Amino acid sequence: MKLDSTRNEELPIYESLIRERGDVVEEARAVAEETQHQMTQALNGHAPVQQEAGAQQ
């Protein structure tokens, strides 16, 4: 099996972007998991859903 050298060369660029700008993908994943947990709790009647101040209708 041949290794993909292009993929290996891209990793340092990705790592430097994470250092400079933060790991946006990981942050989005964490927020999505927390939101999913909160919605599961709300749908099961265990916790109220809190709206952000800017999200009011």
Q: Provide the whole-model pTM.
A: 0.54
Higher pLDDT, 51 or 39: 39
Distance CA 39, CA 44 (A): 8
Higher pLDDT, 52 or 40: 40
Q: What is the pLDDT of residue 1?
A: 44
Is 70 exceeded by the pLDDT of residue 47?
Answer: no
Is 60 exceeded by the pLDDT of residue 52?
Answer: yes
What distance, in Å, lies between the first and last C-alpha atoms of the chain?
57
Residue 30 contacts residue 22 (beta carbons within 8 Å): no
2-38 pLDDT per residue, tens? 555 555 566 788 888 899 999 999 999 999 999 999 9
